[in-house]
Chains A and B, each alone.
Chain A
Amino acid sequence: MNFIKIARIAAVAGFFTISLNISTSIVASSEEHASIIVKEAWARARTGKAKVGGAYMIVHNRGREDDRLISVRSNIAERTEIHTTNMTDGVMKMLRLKEGVDVKAGGTIMLEPGSYHVMLLGLKEPVIEGKKFPVTLVFKKAGEIEVMVFVKKAGAMGTMDHSKMKHKKMN
């Protein structure tokens, strides 16, 4: 009797642990697409008048085949594009990557400040800290994967608060 009880509790606890983990790393939309894992999707809060925004995330290809992130979609903006930031001779240039980004088998692409990012052009609603919104990533082989983007403060540098200011409660 006791053994079954313990087993049940363990199973429930295990389930919660797993689902907690999954809620931060986003699951692929279907089983066969599970070769691509997208996690830690976040965006910076933008003010009410801001027309553009950027979203960041980590894309990992744990499959055996190379893949390519070919496009991105969202309902929060009129247009959603893949961009990168290049610095040449001290000049910052943002570039649209029309061909997308390669994600090699076993490789990881970091969409992060100063590098690759999902560019949201023509924001339809303000991107407010604490809110979240979905973005769909389209891969050449893995197909479509929807991720939930969590909005951090305007100057956030990642999903973790790296600033040396007092740590606020994490949401």
Chain B
Amino acid sequence: MNKIFAYAIALLVLVGLTATVLIVTGVIPSANKSSRSGIISGAPQIGGEFSLVNNKGKSVTEKDFQGKMMLVFFGYTFCPDVCPTEMQTFSQVMTELGVDAEEVIPVFITVDPARDTVEVMDEFVAAFHPSIVGLTGSEEQIIHVKKQYRAYGQKVEGEDKEYYLVDHTSFTYLMGKDGQLATVFSYGTTTDEMIKKIRELL
């Protein structure tokens, strides 16, 4: 009895080992390997069509950015801390990319369209880098684009009617030239890391 049991165990171990070896050596494709080409697989669709107004007052859609990579950040100009920091990162990325900067459009989308008018947006983005495009729009247009990017932006209701704060997503989305999400950078990602990723996609 014991002998049969021991043989069975040995056989199972052997089968397991063989399978492992075959997967490792690549004879049997593993489930993980096939998804390695996409950086984020199984993630919900991020990006897509939108209709907004740029910082020069011109109506734009995602088609205006086709063929270029996009660095997308959601924020608001009344934000004196995090948003200027991220815009500074964008500015440095664009400067350091040199000629490759031609392939990238940095985009700042407001989550506070009520206060971020075209003029306010224009002044704000111009303070950082001439290439940064500021996008605003109607409440509905902003709600739509936030949905498209799974971005969050919520006004903090309080006693302050004029100088209210807005909680917002702190990620930066890197969209490929095909308009598909290439990767998401968390807040605090260095310019060098962003540049490296952008160059990989050139």
A positions within 8 Å CB-CB of B: 44-54, 79, 83, 85, 87, 90-94, 113-114, 117, 119-122, 154-157, 163-165
Contacts and interface: CB of A to CB of B under 8 A. Distances in A.
A155 B167 contact: no
Interface in B92-106: 92, 95-96
Pairs A-B, 9 closest by C-beta atoms: A155-B88, A54-B80, A154-B127, A47-B123, A121-B163, A92-B170, A93-B167, A94-B165, A113-B85
A121 B187 CA distance: 24
A52 B81 CA distance: 10
A163 B81 CA distance: 17
B87 A90 contact: no
Interface of B: 77-82, 84-85, 87-88, 91-92, 95-96, 115, 119-120, 123-124, 126-128, 152, 156, 160, 162-163, 165, 167-171, 186-188
Given A49-B120, A49-B123, A52-B80, A155 B162 contact: no
Contacts of B115: 51
Contacts of A165: 92, 95
A127 B49 CA distance: 37
A94 B81 contact: yes
Contact of A51 (B91, B96, B163, B165): B163
Contacts of A157: 85, 88
Contact of A44 (B84, B152, B169, B171): B84
B80 A92 contact: no
A113 B81 CA distance: 6
A164 B127 contact: no
Given A94-B82, A155-B85, A155-B87, 18 more contacts: A47-B123, A48-B123, A51-B162, A52-B163, A54-B81, A79-B163, A87-B170, A90-B169, A90-B170, A91-B168, A91-B170, A92-B168, A114-B85, A114-B187, A117-B80, A121-B160, A155-B91, A163-B92
